[in-house]
């Protein structure tokens, strides 16, 4: 989960205009039209799902969430005060008989974790819950992941290849930083950093938990220091939008460094799983197909994302260039992929158990132990996935 805004340059352009016109065009049919369209050959969710499927994200609109905004049909309405968008929930462009409301997270909800927000507001149907967060809050706010839209997290550590030409990964970066006196800046309290320290990948002397989400310190260090970020954003931003830097960075993802959590998995409150099962049996395959469709052709959905960023107007800026780059990175780095099989969205029990084994002691030492006896099967299910849907 992002805990502070990332600085970018605004370059919204014509896509914003197109999406803004769509958002002002009125609702995409009333409830009767929507239901009739669904019944006429599309997927019909009206008999099994809530009239409005409410999804709580963990950050502002961005391409990393494209699979979700792909579900929002044309004629959507925006609540700029609440930072949410509502429209027909569509499958392949056709209404499904229900609405979808996507709520921004991060600053929009006071940086509350999505799983905690789901328990504060039970109108939320699903929320974005990364595996480490699911472990952390498994005792107080238990959640069950039903769909992992991305197989790997884009979270990464980046460095200047001109300063460190021989560095190939985070471990060798740590060695180089000890020699140079540089540090890796990161958001304090990140579980992955505790893992990197505990595994011996990094020495505490080369870490600095004072990162504030802005590029100032990285630029001022002139390549001496490294920094956390997202492989789907910062490499483009720093080369193309941070004029004081204006050159490439190199990176390794936290996944490749040995912390293989699932990012922002679509999850429900564990106690609601049984009641939501009839809905999830139909809805999860729709989400799978939306993921595939978005990565195949993100243009319309990226226009929506850029429109929302503009209308929310909360200090978060996000350019068309970053959105396009993010999709390419998700493909290039196998962030959006089938994993080790032929379908999208499944979660591996061994990977989740590894996060429990790593993060459990970290949270326990911090005074917030996970649920006693927690196992991977407590945190996810693949039962609703359609194995014929994949990249």
Question: pLDDT tens, 142-189?
Answer: 999 999 999 999 999 999 999 999 999 999 999 999 999 999 999 988
CATH code reported for the domain at 155-253: 3.40.190
pLDDT digits (tens, 9 = 90+) for 252-281: 999 999 999 999 999 999 999 999 999 999
Predicted confidence (pLDDT) at residue 34 exceeds the cutoff of 90: no
User: What is the strand order of the sheet 207-208 is part of?
Assistant: 207-208, 184-185, 226-230, 155-159, 250-253
- Give the pLDDT score at 11: 30
Is residue 346 within 8 Å of 148, Cβ to Cβ? Answer: yes
At 41 the pLDDT is 57
CATH 3.40.190.10 domain range(s) in the chain: 13-152+262-378
Amino acid 52: pLDDT: 98
Q: Torsions phi, psi of 100, nearest 5?
A: -130, 135
SS3 labels along 137-205: CCCCCCEEEEECCCCCCCEEEEECCCCCCCCCCHHHHHHHHHHHCCCEECECCCHHHHHHHHCCCCCHH
Work out the pLDDT band at 338, boundaries 50, 70, 90.
confident
Predicted pLDDT of residue 1 = 35
Q: Given this model, what pLDDT does residue 369 score?
A: 95
Q: Is the pLDDT of residue 222 over 60?
A: yes
The superfamily CATH assigns to domain 13-152+262-378 is Periplasmic binding protein-like II (3.40.190.10)
The mean-pLDDT minimum among 33-42, 57-66, 237-246, 358-367 falls in 33-42
Q: Which pLDDT value is given to residue 339? A: 84
CA distance 74 to 28: 6
Cβ proximity of 219 and 242 under 8 Å: yes
């Amino acid at each position: 989960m992002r805990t502070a805004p990332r600085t970018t340059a605004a370059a919204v352009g014509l896509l914003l205009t197109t999406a803004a016109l769509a958002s002002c065009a009125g609702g995409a049919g009333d409830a009767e039209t929507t239901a009739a369209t669904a019944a006429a050959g599309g997927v019909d969710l009206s008999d099994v799902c809530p009239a409005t499927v409410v999804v709580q994200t963990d950050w502002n609109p961005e391409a990393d969430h494209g699979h979700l905004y792909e579900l929002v049909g044309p004629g959507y309405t925006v609540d700029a005060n609440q930072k949410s968008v509502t429209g027909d929930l569509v499958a392949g462009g056709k209404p499904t008989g229900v609405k979808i409301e996507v709520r921004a997270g991060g600053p929009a909800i006071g940086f509350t974790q999505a799983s905690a927000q789901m328990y504060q507001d039970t109108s939320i149907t699903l929320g974005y819950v990364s595996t480490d967060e699911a472990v952390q809050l498994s005792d107080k706010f238990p959640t069950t992941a039903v769909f992992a839209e991305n197989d790997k997290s884009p979270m990464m550590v980046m460095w200047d290849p001109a300063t460190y030409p021989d560095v190939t990964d985070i471990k060798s970066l740590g060695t180089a930083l000890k020699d140079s006196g540089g540090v890796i800046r990161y958001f304090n309290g990140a579980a992955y950093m505790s893992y990197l320290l505990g595994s011996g990948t990094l020495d505490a002397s080369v870490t600095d938990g004072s990162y504030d989400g802005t590029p100032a310190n990285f630029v001022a260090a002139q390549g001496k220091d490294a920094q956390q970020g997202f492989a789907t954003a910062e490499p483009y931003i720093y080369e193309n939008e941070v004029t004081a830097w204006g050159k490439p960075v190199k990176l390794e993802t936290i996944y490749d460094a040995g912390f293989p959590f699932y990012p922002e998995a679509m999850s429900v409150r564990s106690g609601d799983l049984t009641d939501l099962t009839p809905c999830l049996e139909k809805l999860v395959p729709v989400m799978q197909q939306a993921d595939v469709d978005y990565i195949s052709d993100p243009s319309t959905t990226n226009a929506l994302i850029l429109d929302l960023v503009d209308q929310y107007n909360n200090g978060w800026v996000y350019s068309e260039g970053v959105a396009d780059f993010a999709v390419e990175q998700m493909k290039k780095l196998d962030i959006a992929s089938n994993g080790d099989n032929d379908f999208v969205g499944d979660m591996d029990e061994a990977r989740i158990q590894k996060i429990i084994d790593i993060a459990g002691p970290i949270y326990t030492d911090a005074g917030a132990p996970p649920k006693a006896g927690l196992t991977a099967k407590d945190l996810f299910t693949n039962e609703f996935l359609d194995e014929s849907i994949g990249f």
